Amino acid sequence: MKNKKKGHNIKDITRGDAVVQNLSPSKVLLSHLICGIGLASSFWLAINIYSINLIDNPASTLRLIWLIEVPVVVLLYSLFRKDMNQSSYLKAVARGLLGLPVGAVVHALGAIVLGAPVGTQYFLRTLNWSLLMSTFTFVPAASVYGSSWVDWHRIFAQTKPIGSIDYMICLPAHGAVIGGWFGAWPMPLDWERTWQEWPICVTYGAIIGYLVGMLASFCSAVFRVSSQHVKGD
Amino acid sequence: MAVTEWWKNTSCGGRRSAFMVFFLVLLLHCIAILLFTSGFLLTRTELPHHSQCSDVSQSPCGLPDRSPQGDHDGVTCWTKPAVDRLVIIVLDALRFDFVAPSTFFEEKKPWMDKLQVLHKFASESESAARIFKAIADPPTTSLQRLKGLTTGGLPTFIDIGNSFGAPAIVEDNLIHQLVQNGKRVVMMGDDTWTQLFPHHFNKSYPYPSFNVKDLDTVDNGCISHLIPTLYDDDWDVLIAHFLGVDHAGHIFGVDSVQMIEKLQQYNEQLEKVVEVLQSQAGRGSLHENTLLLVMGDHGQTINGDHGGGSAEEVDTSIFAMSLRKPSITVPPEFDASSCKLDLDGREVCISSIEQLDFAATVSALLGIPFPYGSIGRVNPMLYALVAGTWNLEDYDMSSSQSQLKLEEWMHNYAKVLCINSWQVKKYIDVYTASSVIGFSVDDLKHVADMYAQAVNWSDSLHDVASCKDEACRTSFDALKKQIDLYSNFLASVAELARTKFTEFNLRMMGIGFGILLISIFIHVLVIKRVDDITVFPSRETSSVSFGLIVSCTIVTARACSFLSNSYILEEGKMTNFLLASIGMLGLRHSIMTKKMIFEATAFVFLISILRFTIELGLSKPQEVLDFHSWMYVADLMPIVPLIILACLLYKSIACSSCNRLLKFVITGSIFSYILLALHWTLESNLSSMTPLIFDGIKGNFIPRAIYIMGIAQLLSLAVLQFFEEVEISKWGEMAVMKAVAILSVWSSTLMILSGKQGPWIALASVVGGWLISRLKGLEQDNKNATTGLLALYSSPVTQWSLLASCLFFCSGHWCAFDGLRYAAAFVGFDEFTIIPQAILLTIETYGFSHILPTLGLPILVAYKYSSNEAKQTRQSLIQLFQVYLIYGLIMAVTTTFTVLCVIIQKRHLMVWGLFAPKFVFDVVGLILTDALICVSSVFYFIQT
């Protein structure tokens, strides 16, 4: 009975904010493109300006990537904050920044349970990796939803996104986590490549998953618009 | 018809039908595995025949020449003897780069160039000495190599299994031929020789090779007897087997001070040996015609391991030195050696020899019959080194004369090869006739053609060679062709044998694998059927759930990972990774439904603890810290979980109203725990403080008492089974109590075998099992009764089985024979008797990962069983049936993939080092699980 009631509540809320929730596919594409360009430019900076790369200097490259990606994501997603009327843009930015360390702790713990190596030489790598993962998952959600437990629960536990902003957060985040999970698989192989070390291939997997998630979110936005057109006709 | 009738009418929860199904599965698995194993672990059929001196008259090569010197006994046996006495010094695990000069390698390592004495003699042009690179056939363990060296054959996997209690060689072998032909053999060093050849040696000085940490006992024993024996004249063949290098490698690795010290010691000793031999090498002296062989039986890796087929392990060395001066130089066609300057500017040449050829070559040199099963070829370089010294005094060293001598030698060598080829051909023919799995017809025909060609050529040659004047000596090329023909024949036989004796019987393997697949198909069919009868047809139900999909993915991923050697090596971490994944999904699920978040978090936490335990278990145990107070704590720590377990047991009997006998059994287990705690206290550093009364029960008394108690408890449970009729309505509670009782019975024995980690792991498995049972409720409540049993139970059972295999790795095991904890076999026993020790070892190895989880599965079903209706009981019996089916299926699927992996990787470098042990572990585990499921079906199920 309790369950049903809550489900009902969620529906009400979403119906109320339906206008805010849905973005046009071009906007979705634009924001995803900005995120993607942020990632690409951080890689470009790392290789061409700082002459470091993920394989030889994982910790410092990861740090560079999240340092660039965090402002992009926070500033972008704060635009789509859910409680537009109650909280200001700055508050949403602050929420996003607060979400960064919290998400990092969750990701680091998860990685350690799954078997990430522990030790002082891995500390910086794990720290920077989990901050990057947090940028992909927790930071946008924190910016948009704030401390709304109901929304968090809907997106991450139940995976029931409604509206394009939900999709924009939910799909890339799940993509990054699933991609990271698959990225761990080559690690035990005896190919003796440097990229098999923690967390290099996991990062690659997560980034690929993130990109695929963004693509999927864009596709879903396009699909939703077209289906609405069909309905309208 | 009967089957379909049964299929329609059976009530799946009944004892008889359950037992029937599980027994059928067990039977199918047994048949499949037997067939597969017989095709995979092939043994070479050992022929009982022995070579005789007189056999040679059947050969097409003519009778051997009479010895030109009259001082021999006139008749030679197969070949003309080239040496009278032989000194074989075996240095165990002698790497090739210990012997060869460092200039042969890219980089000079600290352990190279230590056996300088060998370089010195190999480089002196006037001494007949040479270094050979000897290539062994895997498996490269001492016993197998000694067998291979003396029989001239190829060993197979089964031999490794036998090496536990090294059996005597019954096949024809070099040592047997030596004794048969009146040679006196003296042995000193490694006692493996006396196990292999118990009655062959005239004198032997064996030293135990068992203690790997002991670098010096065997070597010092050898050294103290070697030099004095060299002055004696009551032997013909001397074998000295040094073990120090092997042991130093195992303990310290190749790049260590101990290893270099050992090599320096050997250098010193070898110098002395050569000195003694040279001092007596004059005409008519003791060692006038002696051959010295310094050889390794196999190599070793940098870490000191051996057994596999990598180049480091396979490459070893033979140093041969004749005390006569050489007279011929072998034409380059036969001489595949490479020469380089060593660090002192001396030119050292290195030839190559297969270890397979050792028995034939030594037999030819000593003039004794070749071992019957030898398939080696007489090595030209080693033969030339010694046999080239005949008639040295009769010729001048002019060039025309040396050409003449060369032809003389080639003539001899061709003749030896003729006998060699004849003997090998005879062996191949007899082997094909008498062995079940012989050679294929095509291969045999090919080999026979080559042999016929060689023999025909030799017939035409005989006419030419029979004339003795100068004109006829132009047969140099003809002789060379002859030698080539024989060599080619022998090489192709060796190649054929290598593929065939290590070849697998693909048809048997295929049939076995097919039956395994059929059994899985039946398994799935039964599961589907049980799933169907429990689903109510009226309501619309989903038989597929998220949990089912995840479980299938996880099980398939785990199974597929066995196709790669890397994942098998990291199996512990892999399993933990998958368990953690499924555990985190569970946590997500519990957050979603907002129920049992504590349990789900605790489960994830438990997995992370297991993860660190696995990593600790994989690294070798470290030295205990030297703090006194800390040591007391470490000694007594295991007693804490023991007390917790005992409390849990006490609670379980206190708050249930079950049979008195069951309660009695569980109380017995609590008593066992107390004994266990007492035992560990007495063994610990605290023992000095304990009262003297306990001295009487130190040592073996308590373990034996616990074993006996365990057996008695099991017997009483069996008795209970026969005399107690369970009311249907009370089945749930009864099943839980029975499970607790039988688990507690096993746990006490298991904990004493596992040592001090035992209680911790037992506690972890109890907590894990409890959490999984609790979390099962999450899914059950959520879905009500609308989903099928399969969808409901797949996820908990998968977690259960993953947790079980994690416990296997947590308790410090891994799937290799060195992962067995042999020490466990001697808890409570001081002497080795095969049956009790094997049982104890099996219990210790499979206890936490197979025995306890399989017997404990009813807890998963009957946990929190509340309803007392008979109808509900029937329902849960079907559930239990389904759970056992799923559990068995998961085991069968993983094992099937291991089998598939073995089929695919049968030519892999690590097939004997990694895949075969994994196969053996999995197969034994599967049969054990199946058998335990059968037992459980009798124990838990009731006739409905």
pLDDT tens-digit profile of B806-815? 999 888 887 7
Rounded-to-integer distance, Cα B98 and Cα B902, Å: 35
Distance CA B739, CA B750 (A): 16
Exposure string over B801-814, b if 16+ CB within 10 A, otherwise e: bbbbbbbbbbbbbb
Backbone torsions φ then ψ of B303, nearest 5 degrees:
-80, -5
Model confidence at B416: pLDDT above 50:
yes
Q: What is the 3-state secondary structure (H, E, C) of B59-94?
A: CCCCCCCCCCCCCCCCCCCCCCCCCCEEEEEEECCC
Chain A interface residues facing chain B, Cβ-Cβ under 8 Å? 3, 110, 112-115, 118, 153, 156-158, 181, 184, 188-190
Amino acid, single-letter form, for residue B674:
I
CA dihedral sign, ordered B710, B728, B877, B596: negative
In the structure, what pLDDT confidence band is assigned to residue B776 with cuts at 50, 70 and 90? confident
Please state, in angstroms and rounded to a whole number, the distance separating the CA atoms of residues B360 and B153: 10
Q: Which residue of A has its CA nearest to B579?
A: A114
DSSP state of B659: -
CA distance B314 to B308: 8
Asked if the C-beta of B600 comes within 8 angstroms of chain A's C-beta atoms, the answer is no
Is some CB atom of chain A closer than 8 A to the CB atom of B576?
yes
B342 token code pair: 């060593």
Q: Which residues of chain B neighbour A110 with C-beta distances below 8 Å?
A: 584
Dist CA B388 CA B396 (whole Å): 14
The phi and psi torsions of B188 (rounded to 5 degrees) equal -145, 150
* pLDDT tens per residue across span B596-622: 889 899 999 999 999 988 887 655 444
Q: How confident is the model at residue B25 (pLDDT cuts 50, 70, 90)?
A: very high
DSSP reduced 3-state for B398: coil
Asked whether A165 and A183 are in contact (CB, 8 A), the reply is: no
* Greater model confidence, A127 or B462: A127
**Residue B71: which pLDDT band, with cuts at 50, 70 and 90?**
very low
Which is more confident, B769 or B306? B769
Q: ipTM, 2 decimals? A: 0.89
Buried b (16+ CB within 10 A) or exposed e, B823-859: ebbebbeeeeeeeebeebbbbbbbbbbbbbbbbbbbb
Q: Which residue in A114, A181, A188 is closest to B570 by CB distance?
A: A188
Query: How many of the other CB atoms lie within 10 Å of CB of A136?
Result: 29
**B293 sits in which H/E element:** strand B290-295
B604 touches chain A (CB under 8 A): yes
Burial of A18 (0-12, 13-18, 19+ CB in 10 A): exposed
Q: Which residue has the tokens 């034409």?
A: B331
- Residue A4: pLDDT band with limits 50, 70, 90: very low
Cα B831 → chain centroid: 23
Between B544 and B498, name the one with better pLDDT. Answer: B498
For residue B435, name the pLDDT band (cuts at 50, 70, 90): low
* Chain A residue with minimum CA distance to B558: A185
What is the mean predicted confidence (pLDDT) over B170-180? 88
Among positive and negative, which fits the CA dihedral B477, B482, B486, B489? positive
Record: contact B592-A181, CB cut-off 8 A: no
What residues contact residue B849 under an 8 Å CB cut-off, 6+ apart?
B804, B805, B807, B808, B811, B813, B925
pLDDT at B185: 92
Task: Say yes or no: B569 contacts chain A, CB-CB below 8 A.
Answer: yes
Distance from C-alpha of B91 to C-alpha of B222, rounded to nearest angstrom = 11
| pLDDT, chain A, mean | 85
The answer to whether B577 contacts A153, with C-beta atoms less than 8 Å apart, is: no
Q: Are strands B347-354 and B203-207 parallel, antiparallel or unpaired?
A: unpaired
- Determine contact: B593 vs chain A, CB below 8 A: yes
Residue A73: what pLDDT? 93
pLDDT tens-digit map of B723-764: 776 666 777 778 888 888 899 999 999 998 888 788 888 999
Q: For residue B414, what pLDDT band results from cuts at 50, 70 and 90?
A: confident
Best mutation target, B310, B568, B578, B584, to test chain A (most A CBs within 10 A): B584
What residues of chain A lie within 8 A of the CB of B573, using their CB?
115, 188
Amino acid B466: pLDDT: 47
Give the pLDDT confidence score for residue B506 in this predicted structure.
82
- B604 vs A113: CB contact, 8 Å cut-off? yes
> CA angle, corner B253, sides to B249 and B257, nearest 5?
95
Contacts of B180 by beta carbon, 8 Å cutoff, 6+ apart? B50, B368, B369
Q: Chain-wide mean pLDDT for chain B? A: 81
Average pLDDT over every residue of B180-203: 88
Residue B20 has pLDDT above 70, yes or no: yes
Three-class secondary structure assignment of B861-925: HHCCCCCCCHHHHHHHHHHHHHHHHHHHHHHHHHHHHHHHHHHHCCCCCCHHHHHHHHHHHHHHH
Judged by DSSP in three states, B132 sits in strand
Higher pLDDT, B414 or B791: B414
- What pLDDT, in 10s, does the model give residues B139-165? 777 777 888 899 888 876 555 444 444
**C-alpha span between B123 and B117 (Å, rounded):** 10
User: How near does any CA of chain B get to the CA of A159, in Å?
Assistant: 9
Q: Has residue A14 got a pLDDT over 90?
A: no
* B683-689: long-range pairs with CB below 8 Å, 24+: B684/B632, B684/B635, B684/B636, B685/B631, B685/B632, B685/B635, B686/B632, B686/B635, B686/B636
pLDDT value of position B865: 55
Structure-block tokens of residue B933: 């499921």
Q: What is the H or E stretch that residue B221 is in? A: helix B217-231
- What pLDDT was estimated at residue B544? 66
**pLDDT score of B804 more than 80:** yes
Which among A2, A113, A191 is the top mutation candidate for probing chain B, defined by the most B β-carbons within 10 Å of its own β-carbon? Answer: A113
Chain A residues in contact with B905 by the CB 8 A cut-off are none
Distance CA B452, CA B302 (A): 46
Whether the upstream peptide bond of residue A117 has omega within 30° of 0, thus cis, is: no
B482 and B454 Cβ atoms separated by less than 8 Å: yes
B567 inside 8 A of chain A by CB: yes
Look at residue B331 and tell me whether its pLDDT is greater than 80: no
Question: In angstroms, what separates the C-alpha of B936 from chain A's closest C-alpha?
Answer: 34
In the 8-state DSSP scheme, what is residue B802? H
Q: Kindly state the average pLDDT of the residues A175-186.
A: 94
Please tell me if residue B611 touches chain A, with a CB cutoff of 8 Å.
yes
Q: What pLDDT is recorded for position B618?
A: 54
Inter-chain contact B593–A3, Cβ cutoff 8 Å? yes
Higher pLDDT, residue A5 or B541: B541
Torsion B192-B193-B199-B204 (CA) sign = negative
Q: How confident is the model at residue B805 (pLDDT cuts 50, 70, 90)?
A: very high
- Select from B599, B163, B130, B580 the least CA-distant residue to B348: B130
Of all residues in chain B, what percent are helix, strand and coil, respectively (each to 5)? 65, 5, 30
pLDDT of residue B42: 63
Contact between A113 and B607 using a beta-carbon 8 Å cutoff:
yes
B615 Rama sector, left if φ>0, alpha if ψ -120 to 50, beta otherwise: alpha
Establish, for the pair of chains A and B, how many residue pairs have beta carbons separated by less than 8 Å: 43
DSSP B159-175: HHHHGGG-PPP-S--HH
Helix (H/G/I), strand (E/B), else coil: A9: helix
Of the candidates B361, B427, B445, which has an alpha carbon nearest to the alpha carbon of residue B150? B361
pLDDT for B499 beyond 60: yes
The 10s digit of each residue's pLDDT in A183-226 is 999 998 888 788 888 889 999 999 999 999 999 999 998 888 88
The answer to whether A188 contacts B588, with C-beta atoms less than 8 Å apart, is no
Q: pLDDT tens, B648-699? A: 888 888 876 667 778 888 889 999 999 888 888 887 766 666 666 666 666 7
Please indicate whether residue A227 or residue A231 has the higher confidence score (pLDDT): A227
Segment B209-244, tens digit of pLDDT: 766 677 888 899 899 999 999 888 889 999 999 988
Q: For the ranges B273-277, B591-595, B710-714, B796-800, which has the lowest average pLDDT?
A: B591-595
Measured CA angle at B661 (ends B658, B666), to 5 deg: 85
Pick the more confident residue, B21 or B56. B21
Q: Which residue has the higher pLDDT, B431 or A180?
A: A180
Q: Across the interface, do A189 and B566 touch by the CB < 8 Å criterion? A: yes
Q: How far apart are CA B921 and CA A48, in angstroms?
A: 52
Q: Which residues 6+ apart lie within 8 Å of A149 measured at CB?
A: none
Q: What is the pLDDT of residues B580-595, one digit of tens each?
A: 999 999 899 888 888 8
Judged by average pLDDT, the poorest of B165-174, B483-492, B577-586, B923-932 is B165-174
Q: Please, how many CA atoms are within 13 Å of residue B909, restricted to the half-sphere of its CB?
A: 9
Would the CB atoms of A112 and B608 count as touching at under 8 Å?
Answer: yes
Shortest Cα–Cα distance, A161 to chain B (Å) = 14
Note whether A157 contacts B588, CB cutoff 8 Å: yes
Tell if the CB–CB gap between B592 and A158 is shorter than 8 Å: yes
CA distance B594 to B354: 70
At B436 the pLDDT is 61
| pLDDT at B252 exceeding the cut of 50 | yes
